[in-house]
Chain A
Amino acid sequence: MKDKVVLEMKNIHKSFPGVRALQGVDFTLCEGEIHALMGENGAGKSTLIKVLTGVYGKDEGQIFIKGKEEAVSIKSPEEAQKAGISTVYQEITLCPNLTVAENMYIGRGSSVYQNWKKMNGAATKILQSLDIQADATQELASCSLAVQQMVAIARAVDMDCKVLILDEPTSSLDEQEVEKLFKLMRDLKARGVGIIFVTHFLDQVYEVCDKITVLRDGKLVGEYEIADLPRVKLVSKMLGKELHETTGEKKEHLTYEKKSGVVPVIETENLHSNTGIKPFDFNIYPGEVNGFTGLLGSGRSECVRAIFGADSVLGGTVKKNGKVVKISKPMDAMKNGIGYLPEDRKVDGIIGDLSVRENIIIALQVLRGFFRPFTKAEANKFADEYIKLLGIKTASANTPIKSLSGGNQQKCILARWLLTHPDYLILDEPTRGIDIGTKTEIQKLVLKLASEGMGITFISSEIDEMLGTCSRLIVMRDLNVVGELSGEELSQSMIMNTIAGGEK
């Protein structure tokens, strides 16, 4: 048994400013094994993988690789490759300006001379054998995302690796491509390669994997044989809740009583933007909480971004309280009483070097106008009020927001929008990557705000959360609205079915 182990990680610790991403995680991978690494967003899967591939240095712990007696230290992806670890990342990590073949072969081997003919020949062969619709000499940028992802997989597979890491490789692939990938994985397994497979799709786990390791909040929950861990149990391990709790919640449906004569606070017709989403109709009433659901990349965020004017809107109308309004940029939306907490907190949300106070007041300040800045006293009053109200943990209002933990940063952004007293608030993944305590706080706050008459759209990858807050769900698939669920229909299985296509 022992000599079948190709990779062993022991007691891995890793912290980022404000976050303890990994706390004493162990992980073992054997030859010819497909091992699923599961956990919710923020559980530490990606961090663990990035530690293994040398993108991040570890704070503590040891990594052993077959064939080497002592613990290895992997300081860069280059060294990981040399140690026989090849990786396909969730986001595509190829160079768009190079050709397909180059992307498959660059950074490998040691010859000085670049043999185009040989390389293109070899690449063409692999592309054909994997049935990838791309030309070896084509520039990568001209390929579709799915093809790019397949090229990344082809590259990883072609390397003579002992360990193959697939970090959510299927999110941009369609069903057939996923099938191809699975066939490939089984072939590699037969050749004795150990595969670490990270995915959000439970079906896929049960289709190909042998073992499951579950992480939660940076800690190891356990390692299980696939047969010992039925689906429901896996979910409860990932969520950290006992089974009856999750099933209990499902029985209560949230409902929204529409009063007669009330017009939607926001209503859209045929709205579409340059991101490729199909024209969609949407409405929300005062005091209602609804949500967009669908897989990653299904267009949930794109829809709300179009409503907020964050992407360039190509057509369609938006009505506020029954009146047509023009929203072409975020400022228009803000003037119409819309607030938007963006999906990617780091990139679109926080303004890292500015203080908590400035981050809280900025939206209201911009609304008030360039020539009317708040006095320091006013700004402090607002900041202190919301720091108290939302229980933001910060040394002072002067602390730069980047030094706060993820959950507290998110609360600041929330405070920013609450301060503008919006009629309609969009929360795009407000709970991503933050601790469970804050998650429930945010959910409670959403319900409270709605009871006070605010219309809220809530988006989350975790269906549980959606069911706990929304009284109506709009289901999306492939940039298209494919269904709307409310009342009795609000159940995990119904949502899954609608996302998948509704046949089963």
Chain B
Amino acid sequence: MSSSNQSKRKKITDSNLLLTITIVVFFLMYIGAILFQGKGFLKPQTFFNILNANAALLILSCGMSLVMITGGIDISVGGVTALVSMCCAVYLDFHDGNVLGAVAIALAIGLAFGIVQGFLVAYLDIQPFIVSLAGMFFARGMTTIVNTNPFNVANPEFVAMKDTRIVVPGMGSINKLGKYVNAYVEIGVIVAILVVIVLFIILKWTRLGRYFYAVGGNSQSALMLGINVKRTKFLSHLICSFLAGIGGFVYFMHVGSGAASHAMGAEMNAIASSIIGGTMLTGGVGNIIGTFFGVLSLSTIQNIVSSAGLDQAWWTGITIAAMLCLFLVVQSVVMTRKNKK
């Protein structure tokens, strides 16, 4: 009893504060979009399309958040996504592969990157940024080596899977011809939602999840508290890269092609989403729910930018960078304020 009373006068923690900011920003943005961009944003399908287009990003961002919570960073996820797409595409079309095999390839690539990068970061104590920068260039280069020219995958089994639409009941709308159209999501969205749920549970309800926070908060203390810091760091990178493998396949399912230029800057979007979602770069603070909203905020703003007629490609880059910059500065201010206390 007494504890519930006490918790009411508990101060707002950094984590909660940043999460609240994110959610508020998202809703304000979406309402703004509805008000200024017309009723397109009122249709549920618009929202679901945002999800469809960004399912892969959501998965990548989840992994990124995990690594950032543990105090690291992984900028190879975009490269891994491209490599996975290309390898799966080549396997399906040039080697008559089946979808299951392609999934296995995607996961194997993710795991391989995770093991190498995790080992270098955790056991050899090399800066994660340098390791994953090299990882990114390696993945991008390998993508070209595997196959230079972009192409669409024609494998019928895969195309069927790619075009599978899962109807969301009760969310349809009436189109211009007066016909009722069901709202739908792609398979990737289901995978992404599952990843969010699983990761949320890991971070919140398992001991390992709490180790990630402890190591990110203060790795020296975590060591003294009897946590195997190296293994924890290793696992964070392993999971992140593994998720990049899954995300890569989801991306591949969405675009249905292999190309060296795929997922350019995806690592950037993932980092931006995590930061907007309230994950602290300095580690120890973050939340998967926040990341989820971070991805939504980011993709909504992209949608707004493009539907506002600012169709040139550069606006996307500039808006994301501006948002990232804003949230980084907010974080820095929060940190300074905290240190002063």
Contacts and interface: CB of A to CB of B under 8 A. Distances in A.
B97 interface: no
Nearest to B5: A135
Contacts of A139: 11, 13
Given A78-B228, A106-B210, A114-B205, A93 B7 contact: no
B3 A106 contact: no
B223 A137 contact: no
Nearest to B11: A142
A136 interface: yes
Nearest to B227: A107
A88 to B, nearest CB: 10
A199 interface: no
Contacts of B220: 93
The SS class assigned to the A binding surface is loop
Interface in A126-182: 135-139, 141-142, 155
Contact of A94 (B206, B221, B284, B338): B221
Interface stretch (A97-105, A252-260, A356-364, A452-460): A97-105
A77 interface: yes
Q: Most chain-A CB neighbours within 10 Å: which of B206, B207, B218?
A: B207
Contacts of A274: 340
A97 B215 CA distance: 10
A316 interface: no
A128 to B, nearest CB: 9
A347 B122 CA distance: 25
A95 B3 contact: no
Given A95-B284, A98-B213, A114 B3 contact: no
B279 to A, nearest CB: 12
B3 A135 contact: yes
A112 B225 contact: no
B280 to A, nearest CB: 9
A80 B3 CA distance: 33
A93 B10 contact: no
A76 B228 contact: yes
A111 interface: yes
A135 B7 contact: yes
B10 A98 contact: no
B223 A106 contact: no
Given A77-B224, A138-B10, A95 B208 contact: no
Contacts of B221: 92-95
Contacts of A116: 205
B204 interface: yes
A98 B214 contact: yes
A326 B165 CA distance: 72
A114 B209 contact: yes
Q: Most chain-B CB neighbours within 10 Å: which of A107, A109, A139?
A: A107
A55 B10 contact: no
Contacts of A113: 205-207
B226 A95 contact: no
A293 interface: no
A93 B285 contact: no
Contact of A114 (B6, B207, B338): B207
A141 B338 contact: yes
A116 B201 CA distance: 13
Contact of B207 (A55, A78, A81, A112): A112
Contacts of B210: 98, 102, 106, 114
B216 interface: yes
B211 interface: yes
Nearest to A155: B225
B217 interface: yes
Nearest to B226: A107
Interface in A72-99: 76-78, 80-82, 87, 89, 92-98
Given A107-B227, A113-B207, A274-B340, A95 B7 contact: no
A135 B340 contact: no
Size range of the interface on A? 35 or more
B187 interface: no
Given A135-B6, A142-B11, A87 B224 contact: yes
Contact of B216 (A76, A87, A97, A108): A97
A328 interface: no
Contact of A106 (B7, B227, B285): B227
B222 interface: yes
Nearest to B220: A93
A253 B85 CA distance: 82
A96 B14 CA distance: 11
A137 B10 contact: yes
Nearest to A109: B207
Contacts of A155: 225
Interface string B1-25: 0110011001101110000000000
A95 B218 contact: yes
B3 A136 contact: yes
A124 interface: yes
A97 B340 CA distance: 16
Given A114-B209, A139-B13, A95 B225 contact: yes
B214 A95 contact: yes
A94 B206 CA distance: 19
Contacts of A89: 224
A408 interface: no
Given A97-B216, A106-B210, A114-B204, A78 B7 contact: no
B217 A98 contact: yes
A493 B213 CA distance: 48
B3 A124 contact: yes
A120 interface: yes
A77 B207 contact: no
A77 B208 contact: no
B285 A97 contact: yes
B207 A97 contact: no
Q: Most chain-A CB neighbours within 10 Å: which of B7, B214, B220, B340?
A: B214
A124 B7 CA distance: 12
A35 B217 CA distance: 33
A97 B213 contact: yes
Contacts of A102: 210, 214
A92 B222 CA distance: 11
A137 B7 contact: yes
Contacts of B217: 95-98
A170 B308 CA distance: 63
A108 B226 contact: yes
Contacts of B226: 76-78, 80-82, 107-108
A146 B217 CA distance: 20
A96 B3 CA distance: 20
A93 B15 CA distance: 21
Q: Most chain-B CB neighbours within 10 Å: which of A98, A108, A116?
A: A98
**Nearest 4 interchain pairs by C-beta:** A107-B226, A97-B217, A93-B224, A97-B284
Given A78-B228, A92-B221, A106-B225, 6 more contacts: A76-B223, A94-B218, A95-B214, A97-B216, A107-B211, A120-B3
18 contacts: A76-B226, A76-B228, A81-B226, A92-B221, A93-B221, A94-B225, A95-B284, A97-B213, A97-B217, A102-B210, A103-B225, A107-B227, A113-B206, A114-B210, A120-B3, A124-B3, A135-B3, A137-B7
